[in-house]
Chains A and B, each alone.
Chain A
Protein backbone atom coordinates (compact mmCIF):
# COMPACT_ATOMS: atom_id res chain seq x y z
CA UNK A 1 0.00 0.00 0.00
CA UNK A 2 2.52 2.56 1.08
CA UNK A 3 1.85 6.21 1.92
CA UNK A 4 -1.31 8.10 1.07
CA UNK A 5 -1.04 8.98 -2.62
CA UNK A 6 -3.01 12.06 -3.62
CA UNK A 7 -1.89 11.48 -7.19
CA UNK A 8 -4.05 8.38 -7.33
CA UNK A 9 -7.06 10.62 -6.80
CA UNK A 10 -6.10 13.50 -9.08
CA UNK A 11 -5.26 11.15 -11.94
CA UNK A 12 -8.69 9.54 -11.62
CA UNK A 13 -10.62 12.82 -11.38
CA UNK A 14 -11.87 13.02 -15.00
CA UNK A 15 -13.16 9.46 -14.77
CA UNK A 16 -14.73 10.08 -11.37
CA UNK A 17 -16.36 13.25 -12.68
CA UNK A 18 -18.04 11.21 -15.41
CA UNK A 19 -19.34 8.94 -12.67
CA UNK A 20 -20.57 11.89 -10.64
CA UNK A 21 -22.45 13.26 -13.65
CA UNK A 22 -24.23 9.96 -14.02
CA UNK A 23 -25.08 9.91 -10.30
CA UNK A 24 -26.49 13.43 -10.49
CA UNK A 25 -28.43 12.73 -13.66
CA UNK A 26 -29.92 9.58 -12.18
CA UNK A 27 -30.80 11.45 -8.96
CA UNK A 28 -32.35 14.38 -10.83
CA UNK A 29 -34.44 12.30 -13.21
CA UNK A 30 -35.50 9.86 -10.49
CA UNK A 31 -36.50 12.68 -8.15
CA UNK A 32 -38.48 14.52 -10.85
CA UNK A 33 -40.23 11.36 -12.01
CA UNK A 34 -41.02 10.06 -8.56
CA UNK A 35 -42.26 13.41 -7.26
CA UNK A 36 -44.74 13.55 -10.15
CA UNK A 37 -45.76 9.92 -9.69
CA UNK A 38 -45.81 10.30 -5.91
CA UNK A 39 -48.11 13.31 -6.18
CA UNK A 40 -50.49 11.36 -8.39
CA UNK A 41 -50.43 8.50 -5.87
CA UNK A 42 -51.07 10.95 -3.04
CA UNK A 43 -54.08 12.38 -4.88
CA UNK A 44 -55.33 8.83 -5.40
CA UNK A 45 -54.97 8.05 -1.71
CA UNK A 46 -56.89 11.20 -0.82
CA UNK A 47 -59.50 10.90 -3.58
CA UNK A 48 -62.16 9.22 -1.47
CA UNK A 49 -62.65 6.77 -4.35
CA UNK A 50 -62.14 3.28 -2.99
CA UNK A 51 -60.35 1.55 -5.92
CA UNK A 52 -57.96 4.49 -6.35
CA UNK A 53 -57.28 4.65 -2.63
CA UNK A 54 -56.56 0.96 -2.66
CA UNK A 55 -54.09 1.20 -5.55
CA UNK A 56 -52.28 4.11 -3.88
CA UNK A 57 -52.09 2.43 -0.50
CA UNK A 58 -50.98 -0.89 -1.97
CA UNK A 59 -48.25 0.78 -4.00
CA UNK A 60 -46.87 2.57 -0.97
CA UNK A 61 -47.01 -0.45 1.30
CA UNK A 62 -45.56 -2.74 -1.35
CA UNK A 63 -42.50 -0.69 -2.23
CA UNK A 64 -41.83 0.43 1.29
CA UNK A 65 -41.64 -3.21 2.34
CA UNK A 66 -38.95 -4.11 -0.20
CA UNK A 67 -35.22 -3.41 -0.04
CA UNK A 68 -34.22 -0.94 -2.75
CA UNK A 69 -31.40 -3.24 -3.80
CA UNK A 70 -33.92 -5.93 -4.66
CA UNK A 71 -35.99 -3.50 -6.70
CA UNK A 72 -32.95 -2.43 -8.69
CA UNK A 73 -32.01 -6.05 -9.38
CA UNK A 74 -35.56 -6.88 -10.24
CA UNK A 75 -35.96 -4.15 -12.81
CA UNK A 76 -32.58 -4.89 -14.31
CA UNK A 77 -33.90 -8.30 -15.28
CA UNK A 78 -37.59 -7.50 -15.59
CA UNK A 79 -37.66 -4.38 -17.75
CA UNK A 80 -35.88 -6.00 -20.74
CA UNK A 81 -38.30 -8.89 -20.42
CA UNK A 82 -41.34 -6.63 -20.57
CA UNK A 83 -39.93 -4.32 -23.23
CA UNK A 84 -38.91 -7.36 -25.30
CA UNK A 85 -35.61 -5.76 -26.12
CA UNK A 86 -32.26 -4.93 -24.65
CA UNK A 87 -32.67 -2.03 -22.21
CA UNK A 88 -29.58 -0.34 -20.88
CA UNK A 89 -28.85 -0.46 -17.19
CA UNK A 90 -29.43 3.27 -16.74
CA UNK A 91 -32.99 3.11 -18.03
CA UNK A 92 -33.94 0.09 -15.99
CA UNK A 93 -32.38 1.61 -12.88
CA UNK A 94 -34.27 4.84 -13.51
CA UNK A 95 -37.58 2.98 -13.78
CA UNK A 96 -36.83 1.10 -10.58
CA UNK A 97 -35.92 4.27 -8.69
CA UNK A 98 -38.98 6.18 -9.88
CA UNK A 99 -41.42 3.43 -8.91
CA UNK A 100 -39.69 2.82 -5.57
CA UNK A 101 -39.13 6.41 -4.50
CA UNK A 102 -42.65 7.41 -5.57
CA UNK A 103 -43.88 5.48 -2.53
CA UNK A 104 -41.90 7.78 -0.24
CA UNK A 105 -42.64 11.01 -2.09
CA UNK A 106 -46.31 10.00 -2.09
CA UNK A 107 -46.43 10.03 1.68
CA UNK A 108 -44.62 13.37 1.83
CA UNK A 109 -47.01 14.96 -0.65
CA UNK A 110 -49.98 13.37 1.09
CA UNK A 111 -49.14 15.03 4.38
CA UNK A 112 -48.38 18.23 2.48
CA UNK A 113 -51.81 18.23 0.87
CA UNK A 114 -53.45 17.41 4.19
CA UNK A 115 -51.66 20.36 5.79
CA UNK A 116 -53.62 22.73 3.54
CA UNK A 117 -56.91 23.68 5.20
CA UNK A 118 -60.15 22.52 3.66
CA UNK A 119 -61.20 26.14 3.35
CA UNK A 120 -58.56 26.74 0.69
CA UNK A 121 -60.09 24.11 -1.56
CA UNK A 122 -63.56 25.44 -0.72
CA UNK A 123 -62.48 28.92 -1.79
CA UNK A 124 -61.29 27.48 -5.10
CA UNK A 125 -64.51 25.55 -5.70
CA UNK A 126 -66.62 28.54 -4.67
CA UNK A 127 -64.95 30.57 -7.43
CA UNK A 128 -66.00 27.96 -9.97
CA UNK A 129 -62.65 26.18 -10.28
CA UNK A 130 -62.84 22.46 -10.99
CA UNK A 131 -61.17 19.86 -8.78
CA UNK A 132 -58.15 19.59 -11.07
CA UNK A 133 -57.74 23.38 -11.24
CA UNK A 134 -58.14 23.75 -7.50
CA UNK A 135 -55.43 21.17 -6.94
CA UNK A 136 -53.12 22.57 -9.58
CA UNK A 137 -53.36 26.27 -8.81
CA UNK A 138 -54.19 26.35 -5.11
CA UNK A 139 -53.53 23.20 -3.10
CA UNK A 140 -50.48 21.59 -4.72
CA UNK A 141 -48.32 24.73 -4.98
CA UNK A 142 -48.84 25.34 -1.27
CA UNK A 143 -48.35 21.68 -0.36
CA UNK A 144 -45.17 21.54 -2.41
CA UNK A 145 -43.83 24.69 -0.80
CA UNK A 146 -44.62 23.52 2.72
CA UNK A 147 -42.98 20.18 2.04
CA UNK A 148 -39.93 21.49 0.18
CA UNK A 149 -37.47 20.80 3.03
CA UNK A 150 -38.74 17.24 3.43
CA UNK A 151 -38.74 16.66 -0.32
CA UNK A 152 -35.13 17.84 -0.49
CA UNK A 153 -34.13 15.65 2.44
CA UNK A 154 -35.67 12.65 0.68
CA UNK A 155 -33.75 13.63 -2.45
CA UNK A 156 -30.48 13.65 -0.51
CA UNK A 157 -31.27 10.10 0.59
CA UNK A 158 -32.08 9.26 -3.02
CA UNK A 159 -28.69 10.62 -4.09
CA UNK A 160 -26.96 8.36 -1.59
CA UNK A 161 -29.09 5.42 -2.69
CA UNK A 162 -28.09 5.82 -6.33
CA UNK A 163 -24.75 4.29 -5.29
CA UNK A 164 -26.62 0.97 -5.20
CA UNK A 165 -26.53 0.84 -9.01
CA UNK A 166 -23.11 -0.62 -8.34
CA UNK A 167 -24.81 -4.00 -8.44
CA UNK A 168 -25.93 -3.64 -12.05
CA UNK A 169 -22.54 -2.38 -13.18
CA UNK A 170 -23.64 1.18 -13.90
CA UNK A 171 -20.63 3.53 -13.73
CA UNK A 172 -21.93 6.05 -11.22
CA UNK A 173 -19.58 7.91 -8.87
CA UNK A 174 -19.35 5.09 -6.34
CA UNK A 175 -18.79 2.41 -8.96
CA UNK A 176 -16.16 4.55 -10.69
CA UNK A 177 -14.33 5.00 -7.40
CA UNK A 178 -14.41 1.28 -6.76
CA UNK A 179 -13.16 0.53 -10.27
CA UNK A 180 -10.20 2.88 -9.94
CA UNK A 181 -9.44 1.68 -6.42
CA UNK A 182 -9.21 -1.92 -7.53
CA UNK A 183 -7.43 -1.21 -10.79
CA UNK A 184 -4.72 0.91 -9.15
CA UNK A 185 -4.65 -0.91 -5.85
CA UNK A 186 -5.42 2.40 -4.11
CA UNK A 187 -8.33 1.35 -1.92
CA UNK A 188 -7.69 3.71 0.97
CA UNK A 189 -7.27 6.85 -1.15
CA UNK A 190 -10.30 6.30 -3.32
CA UNK A 191 -12.66 5.15 -0.59
CA UNK A 192 -11.73 8.03 1.66
CA UNK A 193 -12.15 10.42 -1.24
CA UNK A 194 -15.54 8.95 -2.16
CA UNK A 195 -16.69 9.23 1.46
CA UNK A 196 -15.50 12.83 1.66
CA UNK A 197 -17.33 13.78 -1.54
CA UNK A 198 -20.59 12.13 -0.44
CA UNK A 199 -20.30 13.70 2.99
CA UNK A 200 -19.61 17.21 1.74
CA UNK A 201 -22.38 17.15 -0.85
CA UNK A 202 -25.03 15.68 1.41
CA UNK A 203 -24.06 17.70 4.46
CA UNK A 204 -23.97 20.86 2.36
CA UNK A 205 -27.40 20.08 0.97
CA UNK A 206 -28.81 19.39 4.41
CA UNK A 207 -27.45 22.72 5.65
CA UNK A 208 -29.31 24.34 2.78
CA UNK A 209 -32.49 22.51 3.85
CA UNK A 210 -32.05 23.88 7.38
CA UNK A 211 -31.60 27.35 5.98
CA UNK A 212 -34.79 26.95 3.93
CA UNK A 213 -36.74 25.79 6.95
CA UNK A 214 -35.58 28.77 8.96
CA UNK A 215 -36.53 31.12 6.17
CA UNK A 216 -39.98 29.57 5.86
CA UNK A 217 -40.71 29.90 9.56
CA UNK A 218 -40.04 33.61 9.56
Chain B
Protein backbone atom coordinates (compact mmCIF):
# COMPACT_ATOMS: atom_id res chain seq x y z
CA UNK B 1 0.00 0.00 0.00
CA UNK B 2 2.73 2.48 0.98
CA UNK B 3 5.97 2.08 -0.87
CA UNK B 4 9.12 4.06 -0.14
CA UNK B 5 11.97 3.64 -2.60
CA UNK B 6 15.45 5.12 -2.30
CA UNK B 7 14.28 8.41 -0.81
CA UNK B 8 16.90 11.09 -0.25
CA UNK B 9 16.15 14.43 1.31
CA UNK B 10 18.26 17.44 2.21
CA UNK B 11 17.60 20.48 4.38
CA UNK B 12 20.04 22.81 2.67
CA UNK B 13 23.41 21.06 2.77
CA UNK B 14 22.28 18.67 5.52
CA UNK B 15 21.05 15.27 4.39
CA UNK B 16 18.13 14.20 6.61
CA UNK B 17 17.09 11.06 4.74
CA UNK B 18 19.60 8.70 3.19
CA UNK B 19 18.40 6.16 0.65
CA UNK B 20 15.35 5.12 2.66
CA UNK B 21 13.48 2.11 1.31
CA UNK B 22 10.60 0.25 2.90
CA UNK B 23 7.00 -0.76 2.34
CA UNK B 24 3.83 -1.05 4.36
CA UNK B 25 1.24 -3.64 3.35
CA UNK B 26 -2.48 -3.17 3.74
CA UNK B 27 -3.51 -3.76 7.34
CA UNK B 28 0.05 -3.69 8.60
CA UNK B 29 1.18 -1.69 11.62
CA UNK B 30 4.73 -0.42 11.30
CA UNK B 31 6.45 1.34 14.17
CA UNK B 32 9.34 3.66 13.37
CA UNK B 33 11.75 4.34 16.20
CA UNK B 34 15.19 5.75 16.66
CA UNK B 35 17.03 8.53 18.45
CA UNK B 36 15.76 12.09 18.03
CA UNK B 37 17.00 13.79 14.91
CA UNK B 38 17.22 10.50 13.08
CA UNK B 39 14.70 11.53 10.41
CA UNK B 40 11.66 9.51 11.59
CA UNK B 41 9.23 12.44 11.60
CA UNK B 42 10.59 13.75 8.34
CA UNK B 43 10.14 10.37 6.70
CA UNK B 44 6.54 10.04 7.81
CA UNK B 45 5.79 13.59 6.62
CA UNK B 46 7.19 12.68 3.22
CA UNK B 47 4.59 9.92 2.93
CA UNK B 48 1.73 12.41 2.59
CA UNK B 49 3.84 15.09 0.96
CA UNK B 50 3.95 17.56 3.85
CA UNK B 51 7.71 17.47 3.42
CA UNK B 52 9.04 17.45 -0.13
CA UNK B 53 11.94 15.14 -0.95
CA UNK B 54 14.51 15.57 -3.68
CA UNK B 55 15.21 11.99 -4.76
CA UNK B 56 13.39 8.68 -4.79
CA UNK B 57 9.78 7.59 -5.06
CA UNK B 58 6.99 7.21 -2.54
CA UNK B 59 3.69 5.74 -3.68
CA UNK B 60 0.46 5.33 -1.76
CA UNK B 61 -1.94 2.89 -3.38
CA UNK B 62 0.11 3.25 -6.55
CA UNK B 63 -0.12 7.06 -6.62
CA UNK B 64 3.22 8.82 -6.58
CA UNK B 65 3.46 11.44 -3.83
CA UNK B 66 6.38 13.34 -5.32
CA UNK B 67 4.91 13.55 -8.82
CA UNK B 68 4.01 17.14 -9.73
CA UNK B 69 0.89 15.92 -11.56
CA UNK B 70 -0.49 14.22 -8.44
CA UNK B 71 -3.48 15.87 -6.81
CA UNK B 72 -1.89 16.08 -3.36
CA UNK B 73 -4.93 17.43 -1.47
CA UNK B 74 -6.98 14.54 -2.79
CA UNK B 75 -4.32 11.98 -1.91
CA UNK B 76 -3.92 13.46 1.59
CA UNK B 77 -7.65 13.30 2.21
CA UNK B 78 -7.29 9.49 2.08
CA UNK B 79 -4.38 9.41 4.54
CA UNK B 80 -5.04 10.33 8.14
CA UNK B 81 -2.33 12.07 10.11
CA UNK B 82 -1.95 12.64 13.83
CA UNK B 83 0.64 15.10 15.10
CA UNK B 84 2.81 15.33 18.17
CA UNK B 85 1.17 18.60 19.24
CA UNK B 86 -2.37 17.53 18.29
CA UNK B 87 -2.85 20.58 16.05
CA UNK B 88 -6.54 20.85 16.72
CA UNK B 89 -7.90 24.14 15.41
CA UNK B 90 -8.22 26.27 18.56
CA UNK B 91 -10.97 28.52 17.17
CA UNK B 92 -13.28 25.57 16.54
CA UNK B 93 -15.01 23.14 18.88
CA UNK B 94 -14.12 19.45 18.86
CA UNK B 95 -17.17 18.72 16.70
CA UNK B 96 -16.31 21.55 14.29
CA UNK B 97 -12.72 20.31 14.08
CA UNK B 98 -14.04 16.94 12.97
CA UNK B 99 -16.62 18.42 10.60
CA UNK B 100 -14.47 20.95 8.71
CA UNK B 101 -12.72 18.73 6.18
CA UNK B 102 -15.76 16.46 5.81
CA UNK B 103 -17.70 19.52 4.63
CA UNK B 104 -15.01 21.26 2.59
CA UNK B 105 -13.13 18.29 1.15
CA UNK B 106 -15.57 15.39 1.00
CA UNK B 107 -18.60 17.59 0.38
CA UNK B 108 -20.70 15.88 3.05
CA UNK B 109 -23.78 17.62 4.36
CA UNK B 110 -23.83 19.26 7.80
CA UNK B 111 -26.04 16.47 9.15
CA UNK B 112 -23.87 13.71 7.73
CA UNK B 113 -20.69 15.32 9.05
CA UNK B 114 -22.18 15.86 12.48
CA UNK B 115 -23.46 12.30 12.71
CA UNK B 116 -20.12 10.87 11.62
CA UNK B 117 -18.33 13.12 14.11
CA UNK B 118 -20.58 12.02 16.95
CA UNK B 119 -19.98 8.38 16.11
CA UNK B 120 -16.22 8.83 16.12
CA UNK B 121 -16.20 10.89 19.32
CA UNK B 122 -18.09 8.03 20.93
CA UNK B 123 -15.55 5.61 19.55
CA UNK B 124 -12.64 7.49 21.15
CA UNK B 125 -14.60 7.80 24.37
CA UNK B 126 -15.44 11.50 24.12
CA UNK B 127 -19.10 11.38 23.13
CA UNK B 128 -20.04 14.30 25.38
CA UNK B 129 -17.15 16.59 24.48
CA UNK B 130 -18.20 17.72 21.00
CA UNK B 131 -19.14 21.24 22.08
CA UNK B 132 -15.84 21.89 23.88
CA UNK B 133 -12.98 23.95 22.56
CA UNK B 134 -9.51 22.38 22.46
CA UNK B 135 -8.35 24.65 25.31
CA UNK B 136 -11.02 23.08 27.51
CA UNK B 137 -9.73 19.56 26.91
CA UNK B 138 -6.77 17.70 28.42
CA UNK B 139 -3.87 16.72 26.19
CA UNK B 140 -5.03 13.12 25.99
CA UNK B 141 -8.55 14.20 25.08
CA UNK B 142 -7.23 16.59 22.44
CA UNK B 143 -5.18 13.86 20.85
CA UNK B 144 -8.17 11.54 20.78
CA UNK B 145 -10.24 14.26 19.09
CA UNK B 146 -7.40 14.63 16.57
CA UNK B 147 -7.56 10.89 15.88
CA UNK B 148 -11.34 11.13 15.42
CA UNK B 149 -10.82 14.08 13.08
CA UNK B 150 -8.47 12.02 10.91
CA UNK B 151 -10.78 8.98 10.96
CA UNK B 152 -13.74 11.09 9.85
CA UNK B 153 -12.19 11.21 6.39
CA UNK B 154 -12.41 7.40 6.15
CA UNK B 155 -8.68 7.09 5.51
CA UNK B 156 -7.08 4.06 3.92
CA UNK B 157 -4.03 4.50 6.17
CA UNK B 158 -3.05 6.46 9.26
CA UNK B 159 0.23 8.20 10.01
CA UNK B 160 1.12 8.94 13.62
CA UNK B 161 3.97 11.34 14.31
CA UNK B 162 4.99 10.84 17.95
CA UNK B 163 1.37 10.95 19.08
CA UNK B 164 2.15 10.60 22.78
CA UNK B 165 5.43 12.51 23.24
CA UNK B 166 3.70 15.75 24.22
CA UNK B 167 1.43 14.07 26.75
CA UNK B 168 1.67 13.80 30.50
CA UNK B 169 2.47 10.19 31.44
CA UNK B 170 -0.98 9.49 32.87
CA UNK B 171 -2.62 10.35 29.55
CA UNK B 172 -0.45 8.27 27.27
CA UNK B 173 -2.41 5.06 27.68
CA UNK B 174 -5.80 6.48 26.76
CA UNK B 175 -4.33 7.48 23.39
CA UNK B 176 -2.41 4.23 22.89
CA UNK B 177 -5.57 2.26 23.66
CA UNK B 178 -7.45 4.04 20.88
CA UNK B 179 -4.56 3.34 18.51
CA UNK B 180 -4.41 -0.29 19.52
CA UNK B 181 -8.10 -0.67 18.84
CA UNK B 182 -7.62 0.90 15.42
CA UNK B 183 -4.88 -1.58 14.65
CA UNK B 184 -7.07 -4.46 15.76
CA UNK B 185 -9.74 -3.27 13.34
CA UNK B 186 -7.24 -3.68 10.53
CA UNK B 187 -6.16 -0.08 9.91
CA UNK B 188 -2.91 0.33 8.00
CA UNK B 189 -0.66 2.38 10.27
CA UNK B 190 2.77 3.98 10.35
CA UNK B 191 3.63 5.09 13.86
CA UNK B 192 6.64 7.12 14.91
CA UNK B 193 6.95 6.52 18.63
CA UNK B 194 9.25 5.83 21.54
CA UNK B 195 6.62 3.65 23.19
CA UNK B 196 8.33 0.28 22.91
CA UNK B 197 5.57 -1.40 24.90
CA UNK B 198 3.12 -0.32 22.23
CA UNK B 199 5.46 -1.58 19.53
CA UNK B 200 5.71 -4.95 21.25
CA UNK B 201 1.95 -5.29 21.63
CA UNK B 202 0.71 -3.84 18.36
CA UNK B 203 3.39 -3.60 15.68
CA UNK B 204 3.84 -6.10 12.89
CA UNK B 205 7.16 -4.61 11.92
CA UNK B 206 9.65 -2.22 13.43
CA UNK B 207 11.83 0.18 11.49
CA UNK B 208 14.85 1.56 13.32
CA UNK B 209 16.35 4.78 11.97
CA UNK B 210 19.57 6.54 12.81
CA UNK B 211 21.15 9.59 11.17
CA UNK B 212 18.67 9.54 8.29
CA UNK B 213 19.16 5.89 7.46
CA UNK B 214 16.86 2.94 7.88
CA UNK B 215 19.25 0.78 9.86
CA UNK B 216 16.87 -2.02 10.65
CA UNK B 217 13.58 -3.07 9.08
CA UNK B 218 12.43 -6.28 10.72
CA UNK B 219 9.43 -8.12 12.07
CA UNK B 220 8.62 -7.28 15.66
CA UNK B 221 9.94 -10.56 16.99
CA UNK B 222 13.20 -10.29 15.09
CA UNK B 223 13.67 -6.72 16.22
CA UNK B 224 13.04 -7.29 19.91
CA UNK B 225 14.67 -10.72 19.82
CA UNK B 226 17.98 -10.13 18.19
CA UNK B 227 18.44 -6.83 16.37
CA UNK B 228 21.13 -7.26 13.78
CA UNK B 229 22.74 -3.85 14.04
CA UNK B 230 24.76 -2.63 16.95
CA UNK B 231 23.10 0.78 16.79
CA UNK B 232 19.66 -0.75 17.26
CA UNK B 233 20.91 -2.84 20.15
CA UNK B 234 22.38 0.20 21.86
CA UNK B 235 19.19 2.16 21.31
CA UNK B 236 17.06 -0.63 22.73
CA UNK B 237 19.24 -1.12 25.76
CA UNK B 238 19.07 2.60 26.51
CA UNK B 239 15.35 2.85 26.09
CA UNK B 240 14.36 -0.42 27.76
CA UNK B 241 16.69 -0.52 30.76
CA UNK B 242 16.43 2.85 32.36
Contact = CB atoms under 8 A, between A and B. Distances in A.
Contacts of B127: none
B100 A127 contact: yes
Contacts of B85: 117, 119
A123 interface: yes
Given A119-B85, A133-B104, A137-B100, A126 B76 contact: yes
**Size band of the interface chain A makes with B:** 10 to 19
Given A122-B50, A133-B104, A137-B104, A128 B87 contact: no
B73 A129 contact: yes
A138 B87 CA distance: 11
Nearest to B79: A126
A137 B89 CA distance: 9
Please indicate which of the listed interface residues A122, A123, A138, A145 has the most CB atoms of chain B within 10 Å of its own CB: A123
A38 B238 CA distance: 53
Given A119-B87, A120-B89, A141-B91, A126 B81 contact: yes
A120 B48 CA distance: 16
A64 interface: no
Given A119-B83, A138-B89, A145-B91, A126 B105 contact: no
Contact of A142 (B45, B91, B105): B91
A201 B199 CA distance: 63
Given A129-B104, A129-B105, A137-B100, A122 B83 contact: yes
A130 interface: yes
A117 B100 CA distance: 19
Interface in A75-134: 117, 119-120, 122-123, 125-130, 133
Please indicate which of the listed interface residues B74, B83, B89, B149 has the most CB atoms of chain A within 10 Å of its own CB: B89
Interface residues of B, number: 27
A117 B89 CA distance: 11
B215 interface: no
Interface string B55-81: 000000000000000001110111111
A127 B77 contact: yes
Interface string A136-170: 01100110010000000000000000000000000
Contact of B105 (A117, A119, A122, A128): A128
Contact of B50 (A117, A125, A128, A133): A125
Nearest to A123: B87
Interface in A22-62: none
A127 B101 contact: yes
A119 B41 CA distance: 13
Given A123-B87, A128-B77, 11 more contacts: A119-B85, A120-B87, A122-B45, A122-B81, A126-B50, A126-B80, A126-B83, A127-B100, A127-B101, A127-B149, A142-B91
What 6 pairs between A and B have smallest CB-CB spacing? A128-B77, A127-B101, A123-B87, A126-B81, A128-B105, A119-B87
Interface of B: 45, 48, 50, 72-74, 76-81, 83, 85, 87-91, 100-101, 104-105, 146, 149-150, 153
